[in-house]
A and B are shown apart, each in its own frame.
Chain A
């Protein structure tokens, strides 16, 4: 059976069909998780953000007016919550509120099955480590989601010129780092 369009799912949800929300979650849960995961670098924080995003979708869907696509809207929420999480984590670190237990969980709790796969993600974290959160956001949306600058602009609220510059600097740092590792 062909997938129902996002518009139809939203309409069904607004008419009180709770199953439509489940279908939206099934459609977007992995995209939300992986964007948050790449932004934050660990499962624990990505799980927090994923759940927050899904709850916000449920609560705010009634205000969604299709001025953008549902996909863009969901990424806007995910990106914004991921950036907030990064800020909160930085403040916690600064105030020494990030305790050892949380750090242990961040390193050890994961949904990735094999050691080899964990290593791949660690490598990605290492490559992305030295670029700013904003640059990382643009790089990930373009590189992994294949979004256009126009779409990224809708998500981030930044001008296309700024986004291109962010991507340029992210790319420069990433390619240099990868070449040096070779």
Chain B
């Protein structure tokens, strides 16, 4: 085995105990090998010095306030997001009535006026909270500034998007929404 390969194995800790003892004996007898090993160790020491640099300590001091600010913002956003998700889920389930339920897929089950009635039934505080907000759908922010009763807005969601969003709801949220929609559907049918 060449010296270079032996040194790499030694430094990487790939030698057995016996190999290591043998190598260390060899070093004490072979000046060239010892020199090569020292040279490799010297280069490694040099690498460590590359990170020995002076930095702006203000950056590290600013991390705690910055993280606290982000955590606080995140908490607020999560609240809005939960509302948004709830609202979006209502939209999804309405759309599910329109497009995916019934005997034939994509059969429109509700008329525009029926849709309008369902939307009117959505609690107003929920609507006002989210209508000016955004929904994060797979990282792409969708602005909810209007609700298109013709379903054009809703048709931007693909079936897999619905599944993705629905999967992200807790059981509690799903039960709540399902109850709300069942109730609304019954009212519409009357």
Q: A: which residues have CB within 8 A of B?
A: 22, 25-26, 29-30, 33-34, 38, 47, 50-51, 54-55, 58, 111-114, 117-118, 120-121, 123-124, 127, 143-144, 149, 164-165, 167-168, 171-172, 174-175, 178-179
Contact = CB atoms under 8 A, between A and B. Distances in A.
17 contacts: A22-B64, A25-B64, A58-B71, A111-B55, A111-B59, A112-B53, A112-B55, A114-B53, A117-B54, A123-B50, A144-B51, A149-B13, A164-B13, A164-B14, A167-B12, A171-B12, A178-B46
Nearest to B5: A172
Interface residues on B, range: 20 to 34
B79 interface: no
Given A164-B13, A171-B12, 4 more contacts: A26-B64, A112-B56, A167-B13, A178-B47
B51 A175 contact: no
A167 B40 CA distance: 14
Given A54-B67, A143-B48, A175 B54 contact: no
A168 B8 CA distance: 6
Q: Is the interface of A mostly helix, strand, loop or mixed?
A: helix
Nearest to B66: A51
Contact of A127 (B47, B64, B71, B74): B47
B157 to A, nearest CB: 24
A55 B74 CA distance: 10
A58 B51 contact: no
Nearest to B11: A171
B117 interface: no
Nearest to A53: B67
B67 A55 contact: yes
Interface of B: 8-9, 11-14, 40, 43-44, 46-56, 59-60, 63-64, 66-67, 70-71, 74
Contacts of B63: 25, 29, 50-51, 54
B1 to A, nearest CB: 13
A168 B11 CA distance: 8
A43 B64 CA distance: 17
Contacts of B11: 171
A30 B63 CA distance: 10
B45 to A, nearest CB: 10
A55 B53 contact: no
Contacts of B53: 112-114, 117-118, 120-121
B53 to A, nearest CB: 4
B56 A58 contact: no
Contacts of A143: 44, 47-48
A58 B64 CA distance: 11
